[in-house]
Amino acid sequence: MIKVTGKKHSEAKEGQGAVAYSRRYTSHEGLECTQTRTVTVESDYPSVDTLYRMSKDNGRTWGEWIKKEKSSFQWEFGNDEMIGYPCGKVWNPVHKHYVATWFSRYFVDGHHEAYRTLWNDPKNKKCFDHQGIMIWKDGEEEPYANDLVKYEEGHDFDPKNPRDPEFLWNNNGFANSPIVLKNGDIAVPVGVPVYKGCAMAGLDVEKVFPSCPTIHRCVVVARGRFNTETERYDLTFSNPIILSDLRSSRGIDEPILAELESGRILLVMRGSNVARPQWNTRIEPGTPSFKWYAYSDDGGATFTTAEPWHFDDCEVIYSGATISNFMRSSKNGKLYWFGNVAPHTANGNWPRYPLHMAEVNETTGTLIKSTLTVIDTRREGETEYVQLSNFGIMEDRETLNFHLNLVKLGQYDRAKTYFCEGWEYEIDVDAKEE
């Protein structure tokens, strides 16, 4: 039985922004942890006045709040901007170090102009994403490695020549977290522009995805084997997983990976059916929106074609263009998926409620329908655009319960997205029936 307990941890206040709290442990063992407070005032851009504090006793008592220097993750080059941060820092128990994906985004002429062109003038690309692999030795605060994920020729970033096209246009990759496999290898999903994926697969992009293939993505999975001499991961890459723009108007994106007990590597992605005239979208009105999946039975060397993900009773999983995540429980060993399951009428990014979780079948990678559980859904007084979608999740080392944090963007007024509450949910996946 799954038991969910929710509590509000920040109030909605005019002009404040969306206040979110998250917690993580500072080492792979022990109870020392940090809590971070972020305030979001605009989409897909770093928060303002980020604070953190420390606890030695798993959050029972806390030290003073300390302001986190914003400059550590943002840079300016004239009118251009660049942001960067680690994603999905995980412990590798085989090689005794932490590994994470470093995500960077470069904005030509600043983020406001770059985002404007992304949505309204996509042929004039001004937003460039890249991924790196970061490695920390146990007990050290700073990583000793941060290497660009290179699936093609290209330059590393040079702050003296920030608009170098051999960097900006090559090896583009979206922020996706790594997983550590049982043997100590890592697997990292890399969101690459569709035109590059088609070139890698020997496909004609004009036949597969002619509508804005420079801004929409497919997925390539990087498999990393740790080289003890260089103390880096040597990467090899899978076949590209590509969807036609007749099936998903924005390609496939925000991929997540999990290794099943059977050894199968499961890949789940979001699609979209939104139509925008600026993209010359080919998708037909009424085309359903799914979560998509593919899998590998050869250790990540090759993946199947992407198909709509489904439950173990063969019912497909309809969903808007929202993120999702996997988490394996230390309490019972089971793998769970967290995300939005929607009606068949899901359109574009909507709806972003309810927020669900379900157990994953360890052989096939399908979701076990009988375990589908609502974590939260739209409540009385909330708009139909409330977002129960952008969340973070961790496991408490004492209770072994999951803790999921989110802010309910668009909660009371769609025009005031960041006027909203922050919530935390404690999830007991092995609760006794009452």
> So where are the chain's domains?
69-377
- Percentage helix, strand, coil for the chain under 3-state DSSP, each rounded to 5: 10, 40, 50
- Quick one: what percent of the chain has pLDDT higher than 70? 99
Mean pLDDT for each 10-residue chunk of the chain (434 residues)?
96 95 95 96 84 97 88 81 94 97 96 94 94 94 95 97 98 94 98 98 98 96 98 98 97 97 98 92 95 98 98 98 98 98 97 98 98 98 97 98 98 97 97 74
Euclidean distance between the first and the last CA atom of the chain, given in angstroms as a whole number: 10
- The alpha carbon of residue 17 and the mean position of all alpha carbons in its chain are separated, in whole angstroms, by 22
Prior bond of 354 cis (ω within 30°): yes
Number of alpha carbons in the 13 Å side-chain half-sphere of residue 174: 20
Please report the pLDDT score of residue 244 as a whole number: 97
Please report the pLDDT score of residue 256 as a whole number: 98
Please report the pLDDT score of residue 71 as a whole number: 46
Please report the pLDDT score of residue 184 as a whole number: 98
Distance CA 252, CA 263 (A): 24
Please report the pLDDT score of residue 45 as a whole number: 86
On the 0-12 / 13-18 / 19+ scale of CB atoms within 10 A, 110 is: middle
Please report the pLDDT score of residue 52 as a whole number: 95
Using alpha carbons, select from 274, 289, 156, 157 the residue that is nearest to residue 211.
274
CA R_g for the chain: 21
Strands of the sheet with 325-328, listed across from one edge? 325-328, 335-339, 355-359, 373-376
Looking at CATH, the fold of the domain delimited by 69-377 is given as: Neuraminidase (2.120.10)
pTM: 0.97
Please report the pLDDT score of residue 434 as a whole number: 65
Q: What digits encode the pLDDT tens for the residues 210-229?
A: 999 999 999 999 999 999 99
Using alpha carbons, select from 243, 259, 130, 245 the residue that is nearest to residue 197.
243
Please report the pLDDT score of residue 431 as a whole number: 80
Contact 307, 266 (CB under 8 A): no
**Residue at token pair 């170090």:** 97
Task: Say which DSSP state 207 is in.
Answer: H
Secondary structure (DSSP) of 298-332: STTS--PPPEE-BBTTS-B-B--S---EEEE-TTT
Helix/strand number for the chain, H first, E second? 4, 25
Count of positions (residues) in the chain: 434
Q: How many CB atoms lie within 10 A of CB 372?
A: 17
Please report the pLDDT score of residue 354 as a whole number: 98
Distance CA 403, CA 258 (A): 19
- The alpha carbon of residue 198 and the mean position of all alpha carbons in its chain are separated, in whole angstroms, by 23
